A and B are shown apart, each in its own frame.
Chain A
């Protein structure tokens, strides 16, 4: 009997991972995945290109590391400075802008810091700091976290000097939203993650629309000179699709709760 169990287990181990012929590994950020857009795009890509896109949903920092190590074929992230550093170090071949969405400020419905009446994103953050209202930061070096830090900087505030009201979650967008919901705190999130988030509690969208909050997504194929095994051919094929008409239509028409999340703006290579 033990032998049967053993053999069965061996067979399970040996069985090939039932994968299709063509696979591409793409590292994407949690905020992109949380938007739900991938569930629309991936089947369309499968139909048009007979290409299975395997998504690795990680933070921007980890996505870049996976690209550097050659563990994925391409990355789709939203942190311009980090992307440029990635390119200048030779880890990627080029950067292709695909689309953008925007960040929003979320907070308690009663808005103790009066963020909703702000003119700019920077002003909103200054109000939170003055009121010392609880604020949850991603704290994970992700694209969203980097954006948040740059905004604090623009507001001439030093996050390191904040008191205990500034909480660093060290987690993904969803987990950080859960934390903010639990603490009834302010948080900066991408609109997509917020709309798809299922545990809103007493939180509400308080501020959005400042152009500084626009969030550009870019596609970067991993450099095949550094990593000969990466499927650069598939990455280019996918890129071509992503800047094409079908992608434009799907991205621009994708809505959650009636709201458009992404604006297609594919442009020339940087």
Chain B
């Protein structure tokens, strides 16, 4: 077992569907440590880029290479979708589900589920159906469910886009905690404030192509391209 499946190396990768290029070609290397935000206007290809990295979007060309044997690579990544997918089960069973797929004993899985429920303030809701939770609670549960297998890397697709300020802050705290524990995070977002608060580096994507990949401070202080400058100043980019 390798220590970490990072770095991630993407080379000349594209995703085309029905003759239209959604993303690419992309060349990118994500280092072992860091908190990357992917920003760009709607339809730029942020979701597709994340899905492509995670390996749930078929590549039309190029390669996405992790550092480790194929069998391990998929199990050590986690993905949180924009609208959280709640399984039709209790909160507890949602949390234990990823563990039961592996060989984690049942009592151990239940213990971990209770620990995580406590961390996301859902301990009292352990036996409630996940489908009746509020939007913020669902997203917290989705993140906890993603983290419960202790992944090396966590992808998040605009996790706070439908949430109010309080829920957003809770989730940011959750993500910062995970980051501090050494989990690599890649998150797309529309919220520039959030990107500034959390990110150590920024990927700026436009029309499926990466226009900038730089440290967060540098990107927000002195964007290198005219498109990034325009985007940050609120202009609409077509």
A/B contact in complex, CB under 8 angstroms? no
Q: Contact residues of B with A, CB < 8 Å? A: none
Q: Contact residues of A with B, CB < 8 Å? A: none
